[in-house]
């Protein structure tokens, strides 16, 4: 995947991202739009994935992915229909094996969930660039719905640049429930 596509996605993300999320990402810009020594060292003449980043300390996909995750769960923990703004009409949500397509269906599913509050605690997250300039994010964590016991969960997001906006096209969620009996 050409690094320039990741950079373009990062720039698009930064220009279309709410200010509170943007402040997390913008520290110093170290984007490589010229042929620096490491670009010349790669066979294609393009920067290698993970070499250049917005803040210089992590690959761009990790910065965008982790900022997205932080923003998503902050919104979801406050009001579970707020993250609906990051989805589009062709987005898919798989929630515990049930599939929902489109922003309206996704928000309707979240609105129908029986809990009033659901704080999340993120244990780990991983982010990968995809060959078609998307970012795949996997989250492992714990949640507590109302007064229920703490439960583990896994969630996957596919983030894509569509019409100069970073949107979630695919979202899969599963509780980590085990029955050893």
Model pLDDT, residue 113: 87
Question: DSSP H helical segments within 26-172, as ranges?
Answer: 37-41, 60-78, 103-112
Q: What share of the chain is helix, strand, coil (3-state, %, to 5)?
A: 35, 30, 35
Q: What is the pLDDT of residue 155?
A: 97
* Two tokens, residue 57: 């300390």
Q: What is the pLDDT of residue 160?
A: 94
pLDDT at position 4, please? Answer: 45
State the DSSP code for 113: -
Instruction: Compute mean pLDDT per 10 residues along the chain, 181 residues long, and list them.
Output: 48 56 38 29 38 62 91 87 88 96 94 86 96 95 89 96 87 85 59
**pLDDT score of 26:** 40
Give the whole-angstrom CA distance, residue 77 versus residue 117: 7
pLDDT value of position 92 = 97
Helix (H) / strand (E) element for 143: namely strand 135-143
**Closest alpha carbon to 148 in 117, 126, 125:** 117
| Global pTM value | 0.69
Measured CA distances, 65 to 10, 111, 152, 157, 165 (Å):
10, 25, 20, 9, 14
Burial of 69 (0-12, 13-18, 19+ CB in 10 A): buried
Is 137 exposed, middle or buried, given 0-12, 13-18 or 19+ CB atoms closer than 10 A?
Answer: buried
Q: What is the pLDDT of residue 180?
A: 62
């Amino acid at each position: 995947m050409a690094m320039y596509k990741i950079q373009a996605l990062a720039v698009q993300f930064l220009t279309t991202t709410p200010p509170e999320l943007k402040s997390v990402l913008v520290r110093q810009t170290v984007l490589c739009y010229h042929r620096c020594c490491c670009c010349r060292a790669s066979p294609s003449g393009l920067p290698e994935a993970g070499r250049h980043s917005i803040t210089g300390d992590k690959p761009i996909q990790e910065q965008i992915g982790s900022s997205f995750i932080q923003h998503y769960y902050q919104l979801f923990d406050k009001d579970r229909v707020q993250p609906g703004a990051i989805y589009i009409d062709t987005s898919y949500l798989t929630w515990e094996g049930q599939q929902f397509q489109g922003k309206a269906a996704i928000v309707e599913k979240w609105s129908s969930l029986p809990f009033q509050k659901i704080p999340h605690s993120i244990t780990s997250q991983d982010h990968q660039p995809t060959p078609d300039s998307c970012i795949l994010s996997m989250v492992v964590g714990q949640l507590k719905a109302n007064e229920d016991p703490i439960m583990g969960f896994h969630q996957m997001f596919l983030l894509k640049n569509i019409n100069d906006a970073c949107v979630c096209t695919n979202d899969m969620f599963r509780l980590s429930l085990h029955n050893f009996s």
